[in-house]
Amino acid sequence: MTETPPVAPAGIAGYGADADALVAQYESVAFEQVLGGLLHLFPAAPARVLDVGAGSGRDAAALARLGHTVTAAEPTAELRERGRLLHADTAIRWVDDALPGLPLLGEPGDRYDLILLTAVWMHLDAAERAGGLRRLAGLLAPGGTLVMSVRSGPVPVGRRMFEVPPRELPDLAERAGLRLVHRGERADLHGRADVRWLEWGFTRS
């Protein structure tokens, strides 16, 4: 495994300074509410799960409690440390790692049955999304599933976000050898009327 942590990605702008308020917000909704439209794609426990941009670890902790072996990659130190403390009762492996390269997840055989990106993909620019999708596809075990929820709507002040063209993700996934198995959409759980969430599921054969 590479020992050098990645350079902090531009996409974490604004997260560290607001960490306390953000953790409270993330933990105010349940895993089942956030991921309800995607849960039918999740493997049975025990499976190897990677939560990328795990934030406070809400989803990573819920999946660990279900019996999965969970790695949480989170580049914002303030969120990672709060998440580690908040969910200390779970056996999450926390890693300071980031897309597009996820260089610390380079162990031979480091493969996952489920990779989860909840509210992360829109932080990557076009080049990062192309490289990131190839990297995620390479980290999926045969038969593995990649799920994402991607924000669409105005960019909050102080954040770095992009509007992701709706056709782009299935195109990138197809080129990386993944099959589209789910596309959905839901409203924002925090009442922001101008924000929508696109949900995606892909599998590797």
Segment near ligand SAM (CB under 6 A); pick from 39-47, 114-122, 139-147, 169-177? 114-122
Could you please report the per-residue DSSP string of the chain? ---SPPPPPGGGTTTTTTHHHHHHHHHTS-HHHHHTTTGGGSPPSS-EEEEET-TTSHHHHHHHHTT-EEEEE---HHHHHHHHHHTTTS--EEE---TTT-GGG--TT--EEEEEEES-GGGS-HHHHHHHHHHHHHHEEEEEEEEEEEEESPPPTT----PPPTTHHHHHHHHTTEEEEEEEEEE-TT--TT-EEEEEEEEE-
Burial class (CB in 10 A: 0-12, 13-18, 19+), 39: exposed
Among 49, 74, 112, 203, binds ligand SAM (CB under 6 A): 74
Residue 54 CB, shortest distance to ligand SAM, in Å, is 6
d(CA 4, CA 110): 17
Segment near ligand SAM (CB under 6 A); pick from 39-47, 87-95, 115-123, 169-177? 115-123
Site track 35-64 with ligand SAM (rule: CB under 6 A), x = hit: -----------------xxxx--x------
Site track 81-100 with ligand SAM (rule: CB under 6 A), x = hit: -----------------xx-
Among 19, 26, 42, 178, binds ligand SAM (CB under 6 A): 26
Residue 113 CB, shortest distance to ligand SAM, in Å, is 19
Q: Which residue is nearest to ligand SAM (CB)?
A: 55
Q: Which two tokens stand for residue 140?
A: 């999926």
Applying CB under 6 A, what is the total number of residues that bind ligand SAM?
21
Residue 205 CB, shortest distance to ligand SAM, in Å, is 26
Site track 116-155 with ligand SAM (rule: CB under 6 A), x = hit: --xxx--xx-------------------------------
Bridge partners, 190 (sequence order): none
Scan residues 6-25 and list those touching ligand SAM (CB under 6 A): 9, 11-12, 15
Q: Report yes or no: 37 and 15 within 8 Å, Cβ to Cβ.
A: no
* Binding positions for ligand SAM, rule: CB under 6 A: 9, 11-12, 15, 26, 52-55, 58, 74-76, 79, 98-99, 118-120, 123-124
